[in-house]
Amino acid sequence: MGKRTVTVTGTGRAAVSPDVVRLDLRVGHDAADVAAALAGATAGITTVGSVIREHDVADADIRTLDAAVNQRWDNTGTAVGFTAQQRLAVTVRRLESVGEILEAAAAAVGNALLVDQVRLDVSDRSDGLRRARDAAFADAHDKAEQYAALSGAQLGAVLGVAETGAVPVFAGREMKVMAVAAAAGGMPVEGGDLDLGASVTVTWELR
């Protein structure tokens, strides 16, 4: 007869304070031919990169995500030119400068600038994930003890552990306003707590 076992999944969360903002910025340019469209998009994204660096963002925190060229059509289905786009991923470590950066970039390239994402994040998740995993294992252990008692047994040795997820979850109920030292009209940054979640599946022997 094989061993009696119980397998449960536990979840846990740990609150951390965001210390960086991740920006995904895109610059597009329309032109009659591919070369001109690419040249315009390149010039625009280069300008945006220069503006970002002027706000004390390090080269290591600026990364090209992708570039694309697509043909444009009018409402009759006639080809009228091309649109080139280039995207940058930017990590801003001084949260209060986000509004300044976006304002300066928009002033430099106008409506060619598109902001695909502004996301709060944590530069080092290791401590938060460790606490979330501790909480997930404790949750699994509590469930397993309950199931063991219901089956008239006791928990024995752990036979297997598998992490089934570790993801960030924004805790909207705990958001609070960050002070932003930007000019009037600057984009405010919402700070507050960011929850890191973990999920673990554990198998115990039943004695």
Task: Go through the domains of the chain in sequence order and give each one's CATH number.
Answer: 5-17+124-206 (3.30.110.170), 20-121 (3.30.70.2970)
Calculate what percentage of the chain has a pLDDT beyond 70: 86
Is 20's pLDDT higher than 90? yes
Q: Is the pLDDT of residue 180 over 80?
A: no
One-letter identity of residue 47: T
| Whole-structure pTM value | 0.72
If phi > 0 it is left, if psi is from -120 to 50 it is alpha, else beta; for residue 96 that is alpha
Would the pLDDT of 192 be above 80?
A: no
Q: What is the structure's pLDDT at 178?
A: 31
In the predicted model, what is the mean pLDDT of the chain?
88
Averaged pLDDT, 175-202: 60
- The pLDDT score that the predictor gives to residue 27 is 97
Q: Supply φ then ψ for residue 131, to 5 degrees.
A: -70, -35
For the chain, give the longest Cα–Cα distance. Answer: 77
pLDDT for residue 190 is more than 70: no
Over the stretch 36-92, which tens digit does the pLDDT of each residue have? 999 999 999 999 999 999 999 999 999 999 999 999 999 999 999 999 999 999 999
Q: What is the pLDDT of residue 176?
A: 28
Q: In 3-state terms, what secondary structure has residue 74?
A: coil
Q: What is the pLDDT of residue 96?
A: 87
Q: Kindly report which listed range (119-133, 135-149, 166-180) carries the lowest average pLDDT score.
A: 166-180
Q: How far apart are CA 160 and CA 11, in angstroms?
A: 16
